[in-house]
Structures are given as C-alpha cells and as structure tokens.
Amino acid sequence: MLSDYILIRNKNNFFLIRRILKCFITGTCTLDPVDVVFVLDSTGSIGSAGFQNELDFVQEFTNLVKIGRDAFHIGVVQFGHNTLKATTEFDLNRYSDKSSIISAVQRIIFQSGGIDYIDACLQLAKYVLDQTSRSNSVKYVVLLTDGGSRDESATLVIAGILKASYTSLRLYVIGIGISAPTLHLQQVASDPSFFLHVNQPANLVSFVNSAVSTTCKD
C-alpha cells in the first residue's frame, strides 16, 4: 500500500520511488496497453537546464519501457509559450518505436515563457487522450512543474474533468524544486499518493533508470 504522500529529497529514497513507479508502469511487465501523456513545464522559472532534465526524464522513461501496439504509447505536451499557452509536441499515435519518440523529444524547444498555464495544458492533455488514446488502454497523465498555476481554481476544475473522463486514468504530478506548491499539486493529482516532489530538476533522471528497470524483478 502506498503511503499518502512521498517526499523525494534525493536518490537514496530509491525504495519509496520504486514502489510508486512500480504501480505506474505495470505495463512493463504485463504488456497491457498503456497510454502516457507527459505535460512539461517550459516556463522561464524552470530554466533551460531544468527543462532539459525534463526531456531527459521522458527519454529515459521511453528507453526503459516497451513501446508498441500492445504496450506503451507516449505523447508530449508543454506549457510556457507566452502566446500559445499550451502546445502539443506529438500525440499518442504519432510514433510507434523508441528511437522515433526519443528523437522527437530531443527536438522539443524550450519556450521560456512567463506564465504557468497548467489549466490549459491539462485541457490539451485531455484532448490528446480523447483523440488518440486506445479504448482498452490504461491512461496516465504525468505533469512536471516547478510552480503553481496562474489560476488554481481553473486548474482544479480542469483536473477534475480530466480525472472523471476515464475510469482507468491516473494523473501524476511531479513537483520540482522548493517553490513547488505541495498542497495545490496534491489536489491536482488523482490522489495525494500520486504526487512526487524532487528538490531539483537533475534528480528526475537520477532515480528513473534504476526504478523502472527493476520493477519486474520483485
């Protein structure tokens, strides 16, 4: 049973991290269809280096899970553009192999915008799921952000609509850095246990490799 809230301060908390990721990536072992939409923070506060850590996280995740018709499909949206608010980098049907997904992630450009349009990006993530997810898949949205939303009330409304749209959907939130508003982001997630906190962007990749690669071994 997962604890209600897991605070990740460093990679020494690997065991707790692995427990939550083991629930998240069951498709690695079972070959159940799994659709994952990553929502990336591209605002100025995360910085170009922090955004690169987000991209590295998605690439590492992609590299370690099975991609295919009966396994994982991956899509990516980002928020942080000053004009567009949220943009789809690629949907769940765009790429069907690891190398294509990783190459696409490497081409994503940091926007360095000034406003956290989390509500708009969650709405866009729902659209991606509505249009391109598989009917028999387990569905995940993974939001990575270092701050709160410009409009917390609107974000909670959109998050509620998203979570109610699919019985199989789980909304994970990864708060990055000391400024990430814990209580608000816990409310955005499907459950407080689906909120993770890393103290700096570089720690995103420091745990995902070992955590994912060992989920099928115990």
* H-helix segments, 166-202: 182-188
Number of domains in the chain: 1
Q: What is the CATH number of the domain that holds 10?
A: 3.40.50.410
Domain-embedded: residue 205: yes
Residue 7 C-alpha from the chain's centroid: 17
Tell me whether residue 1 is in a domain: no
Per DSSP bridges, beta strands 72-79 and 86-90 are antiparallel
Strand order across the beta sheet in which 170-176 lies: 6-7, 195-198, 170-176, 138-145, 34-41, 72-79, 86-90
Structural domain boundaries, residue 25: 6-213
Per-residue pLDDT of the chain (218 residues), as tens digits, is 233 233 333 333 344 445 445 555 544 445 578 899 999 999 888 889 889 988 988 888 888 788 998 889 999 999 886 667 889 999 999 999 999 999 999 999 998 876 778 999 999 999 999 999 999 998 999 999 887 778 899 999 999 999 999 998 989 888 887 777 788 889 999 988 888 877 766 656 654 554 444 444 44
In a domain, 36, yes or no: yes
